[in-house]
Amino acid sequence: MVIKLVLRVRAFRTECRSLSGAASARRLLMPARETEAIILKTFPLGEADRLVSFLGRSSGRVRGVAAGARRLKNRYGSTLEVLSHVQLWYVEKETRELVRIQQAELLESFHKAQSDYGLSTGLAVISEVSELVLPEHEVSEPMFRLILLSTREIERTGDWALPLSYFAFWTVRLGGWLPRFDRCSSCAAPFGAQPVFFGAHQSGLFCEKCRYPGMKALHFEARELAERFTGERLDRIAFEPAMRSSAKELREASLTWIEHHIERRLATRELLETA
Ligand SMILES: [Zn+2]
């Protein structure tokens, strides 16, 4: 009787061991996932690795580790530069929040923008805003296309003025944070061609009568540019020097609304003034 019991306990233990063995084998053998992705940001991790935040077309925003990416000779090359458009292979681990990045291949190079100080400032703003507004693991095809289009246009035109304005405006629009552009958020008076006002502590647009002290003006031309942004693709809008101040006003208003909604200041925003 006693012997039988011992045998049963042994059998049970063996079963448990083989079960947990199977589970860990499954963890090790989890198949690699593949996604088209945009590199949002990377941070040094330990001596040799990099922590990478990326927006996968099929995975949403994910964080992972690129092992050995800080070594002089590494298998990632220039694929982990900010806003690089890549094909990524990674492995998810059941128990960890970070995925392991196995391989990255460059689909499209933005080398000119990434290596120029002035242009890279524009990329840094796109990177910071995307990182802050995109929820983790949520697929966002419109934001994926917006980031890609804006980055591509900075690279192609060698100027971030219009692309960044378009990016900020559409981020506000996609976030559902855009106020009405035709009437006052406070008194509902129609705007007409008069300048209207925006500020850091309100999410709306205000008429001359309702404006708060310290608010900045958004002129009629900037609102017309917003209408063009709504109906035309960025790469089909020809940038003329006369549009520069409208693009700036619209960018400033949009970044202000983004800051209002994420409830924090963008660290990269002031770099724009000096770039
Ligand atoms: Zn008003």
Beta-carbon contacts of residue 43 (< 8 Å; ≥ 6 apart): 50, 51
Whole-number Å distance, alpha carbon 132 to ligand 1 midpoint, is 31
Which pLDDT tens digit goes with each residue over 158-211? Answer: 999 999 999 999 999 999 999 999 999 999 999 999 999 999 988 999 999 999
Is residue 5 predicted with pLDDT exceeding 60? no
**Contact assessment for residue 92 and residue 99, using Cβ atoms and an 8 Å cutoff:** yes
> Mean of the per-residue pLDDT values for the chain?
90
Which pLDDT tens digit goes with each residue over 198-245? Answer: 999 889 999 999 999 999 999 999 999 999 999 999 999 999 999 999
Whole-number Å distance, alpha carbon 65 to ligand 1 midpoint, is 51
**Contact assessment for residue 67 and residue 118, using Cβ atoms and an 8 Å cutoff:** no
Quote the pTM value: 0.88
Whole-number Å distance, alpha carbon 183 to ligand 1 midpoint, is 8
Tell me which residue of 100, 66, 91 sits closest to 80, measured CA to CA.
66
How buried is residue 118: exposed, middle or buried, by Cβ count under 10 Å (0-12/13-18/19+)?
middle
Q: How far apart are CA 56 and CA 33, in angstroms?
A: 11
Whole-number Å distance, alpha carbon 271 to ligand 1 midpoint, is 33
Whole-number Å distance, alpha carbon 190 to ligand 1 midpoint, is 8
What per-residue confidence (pLDDT) applies to 275? 64
Whole-number Å distance, alpha carbon 197 to ligand 1 midpoint, is 10
Q: How far apart are CA 56 and CA 195, in angstroms?
A: 40
Whole-number Å distance, alpha carbon 261 to ligand 1 midpoint, is 22
What per-residue confidence (pLDDT) applies to 24? 52
Which pLDDT tens digit goes with each residue over 98-137? Answer: 999 999 999 998 999 999 999 999 999 999 999 999 999 9
What per-residue confidence (pLDDT) applies to 11? 47
